[in-house]
């Protein structure tokens, strides 16, 4: 039996609620039959053990972050090895911060030097984790709850916490499954949002609110995207059952590193998504009698919202669809570079499975 290994990062700015969320996710995943391993935050561990980039007998920040990275990789590898040895076929590893968090504490040039020294690429890191949850610091929107008293390794002021939150979020901007959880609700609801993201990912229920827009491709400076962001190449095919339910099998690749998912849509438009193996993807691929849809995607962040910009080319006619996760219902503004957009959130015409069946490119801006 194939092992269902989930690698989930919980990250964010200082005082975002990581400790509570990790405890709740551990309980949740165990309730669904998963064995759960936890990889705790390395920087806090070192600081609490006296290895610090501040105070008496401090070491320089570059050396400290190098130590953090080495220990982090070692701890993660141990847990991955343990997961493979586990008798349970359903295993989840929860990471209290992941490798890319280190980029939020040093400059890009130094971080890239670290990766080169260790023979790792950012693309390999991105596909190392299945899902990344960013918890926005309480210093943004819930300032009255911001504190450093519950963590001896935390020293940031409110303003420093805001800056660190932005740096951390930027460090993960290219991850294809990044979810941002803000402070527009009470903390219990913040925790529930995270739990719902996990439920949706493991295929228990769909809870992610999304908006989709058809974009005028002439608005987009592709040179900017290709130089600033990592391109994700996606190959998909659809299997339809009784003309009601459908399953979309997807292969997503970043510089040759790939991961595979299956998204199921039923007649009530309830969507579930699960991670699948490479073998499962190609087993169904070999049975496929229809066509394969190809697109490429840029993942980015604007005004603390998570966006995916997909470029399609069907019958040599190019178009783009912008999709965003609605983490803050009060934010109605799209990125400033978008000049023309048609809201297609409630339209089935532009769902991926519909593009396989009936598509008239000439009607894109006439509906």
| pLDDT per position as a tens digit, 321-365 | 998 876 555 566 788 888 888 898 888 777 666 665 443 333 333
Instruction: Measure CA 340 to chain center.
Output: 27
Contact 338, 213 (CB under 8 A): yes
Pair 24, 190: CB distance under 8 Å: no
Q: Which residue has the higher pLDDT, 285 or 148?
A: 285
Tokens of 162: 């805001």
Residue 301 · residue 307 · CB < 8 Å: yes
pTM of the model: 0.75
What percentage of the chain carries pLDDT values higher than 90? 37
- Give the span between the Cα atoms of 198 and 29, in whole angstroms: 8
**Which range, of 13-22, 94-103, 153-162, 186-195, averages the lowest pLDDT?**
153-162
Q: Give the torsion sign (CA, 140, 145, 151, 155).
A: positive
Which token pair is 177?
């499954």
CA–CA dist 336, 338 (Å, integer): 5
Here the tokens at position 167 are: 């740096």
With a cut of 70, say whether residue 2 has pLDDT above it. no
Q: For position 216, what pLDDT does the model report?
A: 81
pLDDT at 104 over 60: yes
Q: How many residues does the chain have?
A: 367
CA nearest to 263, candidates 249, 277, 253, 276? 249
pLDDT tens, position by position, 56-98: 888 999 999 999 999 999 999 999 999 999 999 899 999 999 9
For the chain, domains (ranges, CATH) are 4-201 (3.40.50.300), 210-363 (2.40.320.10)
> Which 3-state string (H, E, C) describes the chain?
CCCEEEEEEEEECCCCCHHHHHHHHHHHHHHCCCEEEEECCHHHHHHHCCCCCCCCCCCCHHHHHHHHHHHHHHHHHHHHHHHHHCCCCEEEEEEECCHHHHHHHCCHHHHHHHHHHHCCCHHHHHCCCCEEEEECCCCCCCHHHCCCCCCCCCCCCHHHHHHHHHHHHHHCCCCCCEEEECCCCCHHHHHHHHHHHHHHHCCCCCCCCEEEEEECHHHCCHHHHHHHCCEEEEEEEEEEECCCEEEEEEEEEECCEEEEEEEEECCCCCEEEEEECHHHHHHHHHHCCCCCEEEEEEEEEECCEEEEEEEEEECCEEEEEEEEECCCCCCCCCCCCCCCEEECCCCCCCCHHHHHHCCCHHHCCCC
Strands 245-254, 4-12: pairing kind: unpaired
Rounded to the nearest integer, the mean pLDDT of the chain is: 83
Q: How confident is the model at residue 152 (pLDDT cuts 50, 70, 90)?
A: low
What is the per-residue pLDDT for 361?
Answer: 32
Q: Characterize the bridge pairing of strands 90-96 and 271-276.
A: unpaired
- pLDDT tens profile 227-286: 667 888 999 888 777 666 778 898 988 877 888 888 877 655 556 677 788 888 988 888
């Amino acid at each position: 039996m194939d092992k269902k290994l989930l690698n989930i990062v919980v990250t964010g700015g200082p005082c975002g609620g990581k400790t509570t969320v990790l405890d709740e996710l551990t309980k949740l995943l165990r309730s669904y039959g998963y064995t759960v391993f936890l990889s705790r935050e390395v920087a806090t561990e070192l600081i609490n053990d006296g290895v610090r980039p501040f105070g008496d007998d401090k070491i320089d920040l570059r050396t400290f972050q190098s130590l953090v990275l080495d220990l982090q990789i070692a701890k993660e590898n141990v847990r991955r090895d343990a997961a493979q040895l586990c008798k349970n076929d359903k295993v989840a590893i929860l990471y209290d911060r992941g490798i890319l968090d280190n980029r939020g504490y040093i400059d890009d040039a130094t971080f890239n030097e670290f990766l080169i020294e260790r023979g790792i690429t950012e693309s390999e890191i991105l596909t190392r984790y299945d899902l990344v949850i960013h918890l926005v610091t309480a210093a943004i929107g819930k300032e009255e709850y911001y504190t450093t008293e519950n963590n001896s390794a935390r020293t940031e002021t409110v303003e420093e916490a805001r800056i660190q939150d932005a740096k951390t979020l930027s460090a993960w901007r290219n991850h294809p499954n990044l979810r941002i959880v803000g402070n527009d609700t009470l903390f219990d609801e913040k925790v529930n949002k995270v739990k719902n993201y996990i439920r949706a990912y493991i295929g228990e229920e769909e809870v992610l609110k999304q908006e989709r827009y058809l974009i005028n491709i002439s608005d987009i400076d592709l040179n900017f995207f290709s130089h600033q962001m990592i391109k994700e190449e996606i190959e998909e095919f659809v299997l339809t059952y009784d003309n009601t339910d459908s399953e979309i099998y997807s292969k997503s690749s970043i510089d040759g590193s790939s991961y595979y998912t299956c998204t199921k849509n039923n007649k009530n438009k309830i969507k579930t998504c699960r991670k699948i193996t490479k073998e499962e993807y190609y087993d169904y691929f070999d049975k496929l009698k229809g066509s394969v849809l190809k697109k490429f995607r840029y993942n980015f962040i604007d005004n603390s919202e998570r966006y995916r910009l997909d470029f399609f080319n069907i019958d040599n006619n190019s178009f783009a669809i912008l999709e965003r996760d609605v983490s803050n219902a009060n934010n109605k503004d799209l990125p400033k570079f978008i000049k023309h957009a048609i809201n297609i959130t409630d339209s089935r015409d532009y769902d991926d499975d519909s593009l396989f069946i009936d598509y008239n490119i000439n009607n894109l801006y006439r509906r």
